Amino acid sequence: MPNLRKRSILLAGHATSVALEPEFWDVLERRARAERRSLAALMITIDQERGGRPLASACRLAALAFAKESDERIWSDALQAEDQERT
């Protein structure tokens, strides 16, 4: 069984807990910092946008989307720097 880290959070006035792998928590924390808000505020947004998906799954997908966007920005910046060096 994977090493899950559980956190408690208040969502829509109800206490709940979410268990995720530490790597997903790390990415969600980076996203919250990048968006200049708390992890709790980010979790509220994820909860509001998850539809019928389980909260833990929605959190993993949100972390994956942020990591993908970050990776794409890094590659885009690198390619722009390369193009500028050629000119």
Three-class SS state of 12: coil
Per-residue model confidence (pLDDT) at position 69: 87
* Residue 58 CB coordination number (10 Å): 19
Q: Measured between alpha carbons, how far is 62 from 64 in angstroms, rounded to an integer?
A: 5
Structure letter (DSSP) for residue 63:
H
Tracing tokens 């949100």 back to the chain, one arrives at 62
* Residue 11 CB coordination number (10 Å): 15
Give residue 16's domain range: 5-86
Q: What is the pLDDT of residues 55-84, one digit of tens each?
A: 999 999 999 999 998 877 665 665 566 666
Mean pLDDT of 15-25: 95
Spell out a b/e string for 33-51, using b for 16 or more CB atoms within 10 Å of the CB, else e: eeeeeeeeebbbebbeebe
Q: Above 50 in pLDDT, residue 24? A: yes
Domain count, the chain: 1
